[in-house]
Chains A and B, each alone.
Chain A
Amino acid sequence: MTAEYVSTVAPETAEAVESALTDFLAEKTNTLVEPGQDLFASGLVSSMFAMQLVVHLEESYDIAVLGPELNLDNFRTVQAMARLVIRLRTGSDEASDS
């Protein structure tokens, strides 16, 4: 379903993940979102699309979002999702909390 978004070269930085996610959201919602924008509060992302975002991240970045990481706060903004991806791929949180 999301095969066209799977990266052939794995992004190594939070900025690259943010950029890819911004493109994905623009494609799916016809909206250009800010990195820190609350996607749920703005009504842009429904509860159904939230799960689609989880699956998209798992398939695109070869990660598994499990246990306490499966929390809406990790998907609330593009920045939060990028932090999650970096954390799960490298075991460190590269992105800033800005």
Chain B
Amino acid sequence: MGAEYTDHRLAIVGAGVMGTNIAALALGHGVPVVLVDVDKAVLSQARGIVRQKLRHAQLMGALPGRPYGQLVTSVSLDDVADATAVIEAVTELPETKAKVLAGISAAVRPGTLLISNTSCIPIDELACSVPRPDELAGVHFMNPSYLIKPVEVIRGPRTGERTMEAVAELLECLGRQWLVVRDRAGFVINRLLHPLINTAAMVVEEGTATADTVDGLLEGCLGHSTGPLRTADLIGLDNLVDSLNVLYEQTGEASCLPCGLLLEKVRAGDLGRKSGRGFYDYGKVAS
């Protein structure tokens, strides 16, 4: 892998919110992408979503003006074999991620950079499922990945020096800025953000204030660019509950136990922006 953007070939496994975000980021920076998912219908929908995200990135002037990379979609993990780096962005369930990472590492050549975009699961725990744990690092892209430049990089205790260099080369090519943190559940951002969102949902559940008021106070008084509940809708409430469950299992802290209102919304299919409704109804309000 070299420093030129044409030297990179990215594979992304998982075509959900983050998979399509990262795909748009890479394609817009001229890097070809193989996007893999188990579901053909999800992949077909993902093509349209990625196209729209690329338009969004262009609208906001967030792309460097390189020719777009080519997007290939596939339902076979074998198609990640030629990638210079593979990013795992599947559901935030430890056993699912472990299974997918094992499949990826069986398909790629030794020396291929392996990245997990996990929200909360310690990298070293995921490293147990791959034969070359030194080749795995965590990169926590923000949402939308093509607009927010900073990312959180997680170095596991077994992550190798060469892997960290490869992460830096890839992120440089994608125009990202990064800060490296140590490997603990939730790392830095979600260790702080997820309990905050959960508590904000509890505040609404208890009737202290509406979602709009909670977000308005956090935005207006504390300078958050997006309030915690609007952020929750952007993340996806199902993903948030999965991540909170991981955090609760790992830390035992009550603030990480998903509150009733969050669980109720997920049960009702109100998953946030991606389903059209969460704490807000996106058919009615500016999003």
Contacts and interface: CB of A to CB of B under 8 A. Distances in A.
Interface of A: 1, 28-29, 45-52, 54, 70-72, 75
A47 B142 CA distance: 14
Interface in B231-287: 234, 276, 282-287
A45 B285 CA distance: 11
Interface stretch (B11-19, B55-63, B172-180): B55-63
A1 B286 CA distance: 12
Given A1-B283, A51-B52, A54-B55, 14 more contacts: A1-B282, A28-B285, A45-B286, A46-B286, A47-B60, A47-B144, A49-B287, A51-B55, A52-B286, A70-B58, A70-B59, A71-B61, A72-B59, A72-B61
B61 A52 contact: no
B276 A47 contact: no
A52 B60 contact: no
B100 interface: no
Interface residues of B, number: 18
A55 to B, nearest CB: 8
A22 B283 CA distance: 17
Nearest to A52: B287
A28 to B, nearest CB: 4
B168 interface: no
B147 interface: yes
Interface of B: 52, 55-56, 58-61, 144, 147, 226, 234, 276, 282-287
Q: Interface of chain A, helix or strand or loop or mixed?
A: helix
Q: Interface of chain B, helix or strand or loop or mixed?
A: loop
Contacts of B276: 1
B177 to A, nearest CB: 18
Contacts, number: 40
A49 B59 contact: no
Nearest to A68: B58
A47 B147 contact: yes
Contact of A50 (B60, B282, B285): B60
A49 B286 contact: yes
The 10 closest A-B pairs by CB, nearest first: A28-B286, A51-B56, A49-B286, A29-B286, A70-B58, A70-B59, A48-B287, A1-B283, A47-B60, A49-B287
B59 A71 contact: yes
Nearest to A25: B286
Contact of B60 (A28, A29, A72): A72
A72 B59 CA distance: 6
Contacts of B56: 47, 50-51
Contacts of A51: 52, 55-56, 59
Given A1-B276, A47-B147, A50-B60, A70 B286 contact: no
A29 B276 CA distance: 17
20 contacts: A1-B283, A28-B285, A46-B226, A46-B286, A46-B287, A47-B56, A47-B144, A47-B147, A48-B287, A49-B287, A50-B59, A50-B60, A51-B52, A51-B55, A51-B59, A54-B55, A70-B55, A70-B59, A71-B59, A71-B61
A68 to B, nearest CB: 9
A28 B287 CA distance: 9
Contacts of A50: 56, 59-60
